[in-house]
């Protein structure tokens, strides 16, 4: 027993040692964001000669439109989240409960969506014809179309774990299918909804490609896009770039701290059972 | 999430739905409903939204009461975004292009309003007019960065210190100068080829390529036509191969910095400004930021010699502001250009960044580089760069391939052959005659 | 309305409508129309679009960068899949033992996944700069000068740096799935094995690994697909450079789209989709088989 405990302690130590691979980049980001321009370009883990936390972050906030970006990111993320979770929950319920060829086909039809990358130009033409260019709704629809397969994948496994007796008993009680879904099933989907919600939120929040392309108004830029304001052909202002990176990651990081339990728990029920 | 249980939960879902749809229904991106005020949309790259440009905009707004809404994007994404906006007929009233001369090939011509019949055109100097006129006679833009030339910028103090009193007139002499500089402990030529900063070296390539005008003289028109119609291949042009071989020779003889693959634009500034390198290939756009940090610099300009000749300089027309052919506010946009073109505005514009100006009646100071460049222009040894002459020239690909050429993994001939292949893809896409 | 044969529970087809409508309109339609346009000469300056058929694909395949991009796409996908899965299985096994700080460690190793990909690209640019980057700094400080390579400015290494970056970023996600998978394995198996005196390695080989197979299949499939489709990570790290040494198919799609050659660009896209389908189909049908059995 003693040697087993020793092995475990040793293992723990080794794992913490290797976590340096993860921490060093984070430290680099943090330290660089506090340095002046010259030192920032040197990429060392040294303590800054002058800790410019107020000065640097003030510039990041102003020239990086942090508040505006945050609001835009939140609006888009919440809107997309709502659409995605609602549609996926409904879809997954159907797929998980109905066992016929059509339902099976549906499942694979959606899963296939995860295989093809989004076709930028034709999607642009579509949004243009629907007059949804540069609108948050348009962007949310695009996120929905690419993330519903992902959310469905997570939901289906979980729903299969809900006993059918629930459906039966609520039908006997006189519930129509809609009442059954919204009043009985949805509350039970809480845990997996949190998991899927967090993962979808992270995906939407961190996206740089879709928002750049389909939201071509500076004022509507989300937080990740605001990082662009600090680099271009002629200069890379690393201290502001990393300051912007840090601020962009903060909301997701907080969400992650709060919800990390759910992420792993959710994966237990969903993805693995497939 | 437990509050969503039961009947109350159901109602809560509906309320949330309604709230969300209300919050997102006002998605109107049409801000021109306020019909009284004229609002011009101006799309520009963040790099080129200079203070002096902002001043012009402010002056315009004050003079006319119109508003200019500035949309700025980083250069790396600017072109994509502009393309998508134009394609959806949602283009800005005013927009910028990387280079007025190159714009005729890089962007669909249908985007531009022809300005050649505007009043201010009569005030252009002959040289200025030639710079900003397209091959087909249209004038589509006014420079917001000073037009200039590509060549080598050299540090006068270092040259004097090392005892160089005469500028080289042959390539051999140039190599000798490099040797002298190297022995004195300086890096003779700075090569800037970090990802994204490769233009610092393709500028030298363009300058050396311009020598084809001197070697071919009056056959030059036919030459460019041949390039544009696939009758002459880049790989067959001996002058181009010679030019590239000269560049490779510089590296092989050790006259360049070893770390060129990671040398970016701001690193160049630091090196040149602090006197570590003696020469750097560029245009005069590098001066303002450099002089801001290193005000005591004394700089001169010389084209790199070509074979036994002193070499030609390549000209560029500068970043230009153009009017969208489908602009919603075309009248106001044209008004803005006219305002910008006025003597008073141009003189104020040039006061903070001296250099070449395209108007005959505008008194503009020269900067250290444009002063020397003017000499070459007057001698008839400055010509528009290849990218402004050859329609399918793959500029972006050239920048990437330049990295491989200087690293030694591609020979000059292979470089040119690859440019031919890439040009062919562009030409076929544009359905150019002969491809 | 679909009636379940056993009882009178109704699962209205209406349930699938919202998802289906959005998916069809905003994904399927543009993707399929993209496939159509890949057979045409559609570009930014053309006023009319003409059908050119298979010729477009012949042109694409003859593009001087195509072979390299194809090779890089495979290299990247396979390297990241191997890296992500091997490292994460190991981590998952370790992080399901009775460690004191287990939850903290799990959180730490998962954390890179929450970063924005642009941010990761920029961070790695800072880390791998050959002269002033942290990685080479460290090597030189340790006297291991030979290790201080050119990384993203070395054409031979650039795509591999991109692979390492992606492994760094995404191993946590695959790890989380494996942890979940291991947690699903009944303790009884392990107890029985301990009673039989089996060493740790045998437990892994004969209990853990076989029972993790469904998770392995899913993770490998997802890693491969994601690897084939990778764009932002590579683009923000190297822009496909130096030269064209780290181009993959998606960076080429983006490049030609930027040049306004839309038909050409979507043709490249279609080629990628076909490749993905060819490789995922066998894995997918294997999954289906397992599901039928299970």
* Window B:261-290, CB contacts with A under 8 Å: 264-266, 289
In the prediction, which pLDDT does B33 show?
47
Same domain, B237 and B116: no
Is C150 within 8 Å of chain B by CB? yes
Which chain B residues are within 8 Å of C259, Cβ to Cβ? 396, 426, 429
Say which CATH number the domain at B414 has: 3.40.190.10
With CA atoms as reference, report the closest residue to B93 among B342, B341, B332, B345. Answer: B332
Is the CB of C16 less than 8 angstroms away from the CB of A90? Answer: yes
Domain count, chain B: 2
Q: Are B27 and A137 an interchain contact pair (Cβ–Cβ within 8 Å)?
A: yes
Query: Mean pLDDT across the stretch B364-379?
Result: 89
Q: Are B256 and B397 within one domain?
A: yes
**Could you tell me which CATH number the domain at C65-293 has?**
1.10.3720.10
In a domain, B378, yes or no: no
- Is-contact A92 A159, C-beta < 8 A? yes
| Cβ proximity of B370 and B146 under 8 Å | yes
The β-bridge partners of B39 are: B67
SS3 A244: helix
B286: in domain = yes
| pLDDT the model gives residue B6 | 43
Cβ C116–A108 below 8 Å, yes or no? no
Interface of A to B at Cβ within 8 Å reads 41, 75, 78-79, 82, 124-125, 128, 132-138, 140, 179, 182-183, 186-187, 190, 193-194, 212-213, 216-218, 228-229, 231-236
CB–CB of C19 and A90 under 8 A? yes
Specify if B12 maps to a domain. Answer: no
C210 CB-contact burial (10 Å; exposed 0-12 / middle 13-18 / buried 19+): exposed
Per-residue pLDDT reduced to its tens digit, C123-175? 998 888 888 788 888 888 888 888 888 888 888 899 999 999 999 999 988 89
Kind plus residue range of the DSSP H or E element containing A175: none
For residue C206, the model assigns a pLDDT of 83
Q: Which chains touch B (3 or more CB pairs under 8 A)?
A: A, C
Residues B112, B132 within the same domain: yes
In angstroms, the separation between the Cα of residue B17 and the nearest Cα of chain A is: 9
Mutate to test the interface with B, among C49, C242, C247, C256 (most CBs of B within 10 A): C242
Question: What is the DSSP secondary structure assignment for residue A45, as one 8-state letter?
Answer: -
Could A218 and B81 be called an inter-chain contact, meaning their C-beta atoms sit closer than 8 Å?
no
- Cα angle vertex C96, ends C94, C98, to 5°? 90
Q: Give me the pLDDT at residue C22, please.
A: 95
Same domain, B125 and B176: no
Report the pLDDT value the prediction gives residue C6, as an integer from 0 to 100. Answer: 45
Report the candidate in B114, B301, C164 with the shortest Cα–Cα distance to residue A21. C164
Among the three residues B325, B341, B373, which one is the final residue of a domain in this structure? B373
* Average pLDDT, integer, range B348-366: 89
| Subunit contact C244:B422, Cβ cutoff 8 A | no
- Asked whether residue B295 falls in the same domain as residue B343, the answer is no
Domain A64-269 bears CATH identifier 1.10.3720.10? yes
Q: Which residues of C, range 154-183, sit inside 8 Å of B by Cβ?
A: 154-155
pLDDT given for residue C182 in this prediction: 85
pLDDT > 60? residue B381? yes
Which residues of chain C register pLDDT less than 70? 1-8, 287-294
Q: pLDDT tier at B187 (50, 70, 90 boundaries)? A: very high
- What phi, psi does B152 have (nearest 5°)? -105, 130
Burial pattern C156-191, b for ≥16 Cβ within 10 A else e, equals ebbbbbbbbbbbbbbbbbbbbbbbbbbeeeeeeeee
Q: Is there a contact between C119 and A253 if contact means CB atoms under 8 Å apart? A: no
Contact B261 C63 (CB under 8 A): no
High-pLDDT (> 90) share of chain B, %:
60
Q: Are residues B98 and B191 in the same domain?
A: no
Residues B163 and B139 in one domain: no
Asked whether residue B384 is assigned to any structural domain, the reply reads no
Q: Is residue B299 domain-resident?
A: yes
Taking only residues 201 to 240 of chain C, the set having a beta carbon closer than 8 angstroms to any beta carbon of chain A reads: 214-215, 218, 222, 225, 229, 231-232
A183 to chain C nearest CA, in Å? 15
Cα-Cα-Cα-Cα dihedral sign, residues C126, C128, C132, C136: positive
Mapped to the 3 state alphabet, what secondary structure does chain B carry? CHHHCHHHHHHHHHHHHHHHHHHHHCCCCCHHHCCCCCEEEEEEEHHHCCHHHHHHHHHHHHHHCCEEEEEEECHHHHHHHHHHHHHCCCCCCEEEECCHHHHHHHCCHHHECCCCCCHHHHHECHHHHHHHECCCCCECCEECCCCEEEEEEEEHHHHHHHCCCCCCCCHHHHHHHHHHHHHCCCEEECCCCCCCCCHHHHHHHHHHHCCHHHHHHHHHHHHHHHHHCCCCCHHHCHHHHHHHHHHHHHHHCCCECCCHHHCCHHHHHHHHHCCCEEEEEECHHHHHHHHHHCCCCCEEEECCCECCECCCEEEECCCEEEEECCCCCHHHHHHHHHHHHCHHHHHHHHHCCCCCCCECCCCCCCCHHHHHHHHHHHCCCEEECHHHCCCCCCHHHHHHHHHHHHHCCCCHHHHHHHHHHHHHHHHHHHCCCCC
Residues B116 and B155 in one domain: no
Exposed/middle/buried for residue A11 (C-beta within 10 Å: 0-12, 13-18, 19+): middle
**How much is the pLDDT for A157?**
79
Residue B412 lies in a domain: yes
Q: Is residue B182 part of a domain?
A: yes
Element (H, E) at C142: none
8 Å CB contact of C273 and A115: yes
For every residue of C150-218, which 3-state class applies, written as one string?
Answer: CHHHCCCCHHHHHHHHHHHHHHHHHHHHHHHHHHCCCHHHHHHHHHCCCCHHHHHHHHHHHHCHHHHHH
Compute the distance between CA of residue A31 and CA of residue A50 in angstroms, rounded to an integer.
11
Same domain, B193 and B140: no
Q: Are residues B327 and B239 in the same domain?
A: no
- B117 with B177, same domain? no
Burial of B203-232, coded b for 16+ CB within 10 Å and e otherwise, reads bbbbbbbbbbbbbeeeeeeebbebbbebeb
Domain carrying residue B48: 34-147+317-373
Per-residue pLDDT of chain A (274 residues), as tens digits, is: 677 788 888 989 999 999 999 999 999 898 888 888 777 777 777 777 788 888 888 888 888 888 999 999 999 999 999 999 999 999 999 998 888 899 989 998 998 888 888 888 889 889 988 988 889 999 999 999 999 998 998 888 788 878 888 888 888 887 788 888 888 888 888 878 888 888 899 899 998 888 888 887 888 889 988 888 787 666 778 888 888 889 999 888 888 888 777 766 666 555 444 4
What pLDDT digit, counting tens, does each position of A196-226 carry?
A: 888 899 899 998 888 888 887 888 889 988 8
For C265, which residue in chain B has the nearest alpha carbon?
Answer: B429
Cβ under 8 Å to C: B residues 247-306: 259, 261-262
Residue with tokens 């990358």: A117
Phi, then psi, of B112 in degrees rounded to 5:
-100, 145
Asked if the model's pLDDT at residue B18 lies above 80, the reply is: no
CB A59 within 8 A of CB A229: no
Whether B98 and B188 map to the same domain: the answer is no
Quote the ipTM score. 0.87
Summarize the confidence of residues B73-101 as an average pLDDT: 86
In a domain, B329, yes or no: yes
**What's the average model confidence in pLDDT over B413-421?**
95
**What is the pTM (predicted TM-score) of this model?**
0.87
Q: B4 pLDDT exceeds 60?
A: no
């Amino acid at each position: 027993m003693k040697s087993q405990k020793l092995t475990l302690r040793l293992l723990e130590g080794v794992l913490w040692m290797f976590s340096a691979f993860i921490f060093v980049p984070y430290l680099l980001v943090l330290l660089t964001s506090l340095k002046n321009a010259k030192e920032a370009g040197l990429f060392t883990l040294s303590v800054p000669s002058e800790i410019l936390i107020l000065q640097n972050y003030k510039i990041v906030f102003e020239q990086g439109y942090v508040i505006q970006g945050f609001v835009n990111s939140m609006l888009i993320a919440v809107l997309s989240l709502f659409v995605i979770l609602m549609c996926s929950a409904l879809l997954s319920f159907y797929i998980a409960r109905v066992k016929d060829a059509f339902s099976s086909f549906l499942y694979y039809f959606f899963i296939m969506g995860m295989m093809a990358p989004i076709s930028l130009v034709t999607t642009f033409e579509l949004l243009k014809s629907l007059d949804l260019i540069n609108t948050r709704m348009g962007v949310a629809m695009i996120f929905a179309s690419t993330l519903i397969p992902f959310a469905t994948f997570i939901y289906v496994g979980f729903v299969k774990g809900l006993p059918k007796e629930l459906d039966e008993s609520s039908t006997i009680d006189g519930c129509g299918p809609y009442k059954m879904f919204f009043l009985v099933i949805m509350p039970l989907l809480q845990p997996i909804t949190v998991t899927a919600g967090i993962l979808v939120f992270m995906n939407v929040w961190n996206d740089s490609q879709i928002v750049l392309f389909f939201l071509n108004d500076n004022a509507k830029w989300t937080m990740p896009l605001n990082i662009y304001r600090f680099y271009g052909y002629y200069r890379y202002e690393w201290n502001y770039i990393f300051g912007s990176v840090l601020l962009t990651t903060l909301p997701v990081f907080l969400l992650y701290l709060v919800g990390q339990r759910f992420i792993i728990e959710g994966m237990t029920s969903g993805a693995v059972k497939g | 999430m437990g509050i969503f249980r039961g009947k109350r939960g159901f109602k809560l879902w509906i309320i949330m739905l309604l709230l969300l749809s209300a919050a997102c229904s006002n998605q109107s991106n049409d801000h021109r409903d306020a019909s009284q005020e004229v609002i011009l949309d101006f799309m520009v790259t963040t790099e080129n939204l200079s203070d002096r440009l902002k001043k012009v905009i402010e002056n315009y707004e004050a003079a006319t009461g119109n508003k200019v809404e500035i949309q700025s994007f980083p250069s790396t994404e600017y072109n994509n975004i502009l393309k998508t906006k134009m394609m959806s007929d949602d283009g800005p009233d005013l927009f910028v292009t990387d280079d007025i001369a190159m714009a005729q090939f890089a962007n669909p011509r249908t985007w531009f309003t022809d300005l050649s019949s505007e009043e201010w055109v009569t005030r252009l100097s002959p040289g200025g007019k030639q710079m900003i006129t397209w091959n087909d006679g249209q004038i589509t833009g006014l420079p917001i960065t000073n037009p200039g030339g590509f060549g080598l910028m050299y540090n006068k103090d270092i040259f004097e210190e090392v005892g160089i009193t005469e500028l080289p007139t042959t390539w051999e002499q140039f190599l000798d100068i490099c040797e002298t500089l190297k022995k004195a402990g300086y890096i003779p030529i700075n090569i800037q080829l970090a990802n994204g900063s490769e233009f610092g070296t393709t500028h030298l390539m363009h300058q050396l390529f311009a020598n084809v005008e001197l070697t071919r003289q009056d056959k030059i028109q036919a030459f460019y036509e041949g390039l544009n119609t696939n009758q002459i291949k880049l790989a067959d042009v001996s002058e181009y191969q010679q030019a590239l071989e000269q560049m490779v020779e510089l590296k092989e003889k050790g006259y360049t910095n070893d770390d060129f693959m990671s040398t970016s634009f701001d690193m160049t500034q630091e090196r040149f400004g602090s006197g570590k390198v003696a020469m750097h290939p560029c245009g005069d756009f590098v001066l303002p930021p450099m002089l801001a940090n290193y005000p005591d610099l004394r700089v001169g300009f010389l084209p790199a010699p070509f074979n036994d000749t002193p070499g030609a300089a390549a000209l560029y027309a500068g970043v230009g502001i153009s009017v969208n052919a489908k602009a919603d506010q075309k009248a106001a946009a044209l008004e803005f250009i006219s305002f910008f073109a006025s003597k008073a505005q141009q003189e104020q514009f040039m006061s903070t960044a001296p250099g070449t100006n395209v108007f005959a009646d505008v008194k503009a100071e020269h900067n250290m580089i444009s002063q020397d460049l003017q000499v070459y222009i007057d001698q008839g040894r400055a010509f528009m760069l290849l990218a402004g002459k050859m329609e399918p020239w793959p500029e972006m690909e050239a920048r990437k391939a330049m990295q491989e050429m200087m690293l030694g993994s591609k020979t000059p001939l292979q470089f040119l052959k690859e440019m031919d292949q890439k040009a062919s893809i562009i030409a076929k896409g544009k359905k150019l005659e002969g491809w | 309305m679909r009636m379940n044969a056993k009882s009178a529970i109704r699962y209205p087809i209406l349930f699938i409508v919202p998802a289906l409508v959005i998916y069809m309109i905003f994904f399927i339609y543009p993707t399929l129309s993209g496939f159509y346009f890949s057979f045409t000469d559609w570009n930014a300056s053309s006023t009319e679009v003409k059908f050119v058929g298979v010729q477009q694909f012949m042109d694409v395949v003859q593009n001087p960068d195509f072979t390299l991009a194809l090779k890089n796409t495979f290299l990247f996908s396979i390297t990241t899949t191997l890296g992500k899965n091997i490292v994460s299985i190991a981590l998952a096994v370790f992080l399901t033992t009775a460690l004191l700080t287990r939850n903290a460690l799990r959180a730490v190793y998962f954390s890179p996944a929450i970063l924005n990909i642009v941010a990761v690209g920029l961070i790695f640019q800072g880390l791998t700069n050959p002269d002033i980057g942290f990685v080479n700094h460290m090597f030189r400080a340790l006297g291991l000068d030979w290790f201080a390579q050119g990384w993203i400015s070395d054409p031979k290494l650039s795509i591999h740096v991109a692979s390492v970056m992606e492994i760094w970023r995404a191993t946590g996600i695959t790890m989380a799935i494996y942890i979940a998978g291991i947690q699903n394995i009944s303790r009884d198996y392990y107890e029985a094995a301990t009673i039989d005196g089996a060493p740790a390695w045998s437990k892994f080989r004969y209990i853990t690994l076989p029972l993790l197979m469904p998770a392995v299949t899913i993770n490998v499939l997802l890693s491969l697909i994601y690897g084939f489709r990778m764009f932002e990570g590579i683009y923000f790290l190297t822009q496909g450079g130096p030269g064209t040494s780290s181009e993959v198919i998606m960076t080429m799609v983006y490049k030609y789209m930027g040049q306004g050659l839309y038909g050409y660009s979507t043709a490249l896209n279609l080629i990628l989709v076909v490749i993905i389908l060819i490789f995922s189909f066998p894995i997918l049908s294997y999954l289906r088989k397992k599901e039928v059995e299970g």
